[in-house]
Amino acid sequence: MGDAEEKTTALLAALWVKVRPMVEERLALLDAAAAAAASGALGEAQRTEACGAAHKLAGSLGMYGYDEGTAVARKIEALLGEAAPDAGRLRALNAELRRVVFPES
């Protein structure tokens, strides 16, 4: 690996440390939306907020090398774009996204 590549890798690693709490917060929003959907209490505002969180994750995860995470976040965003998202599918996609982004957990 060349010097420029090493610097880029180090920079991305340092940035990931800074953005990780925001990613965790967005994942928590998705989990809350899945729980609300499962209980039949997912309101429009919460669904819209969760959809926005999924959109932001889809847009940013690839930058840190989580291309699979981007793909899963896009599926979540599409699901949350539906009037009545399937709670079981949403919960499963959220779990998949967590495994992809935080495999150490």
At residue 1 the predicted structure's pLDDT band, cuts being 50, 70 and 90, is low
The model's pTM is: 0.89
Q: Contact at 8 Å (CB) between 71 and 1? A: no
Write down the domain spans for the chain. 21-101
The residue-averaged pLDDT of 32-36 equals: 96
- Answer yes or no: are the C-beta atoms of 69 and 100 closer than 8 Å: yes
Tell me how far apart the alpha carbons of residues 18 and 90 are, in angstroms, rounded to a whole number: 27
Tell me if 47 sits within 8 A of 25, measured CB to CB.
no
pLDDT at 8 (0 to 100):
82
Q: Report the alpha-carbon distance of residue 51 to residue 74 in Å, rounded.
A: 9
Among 70, 66, 41, residue whose Cα is nearest residue 54:
70
Contact 102, 80 (CB under 8 A): no
**Residue 43 pLDDT > 70, yes or no?**
yes
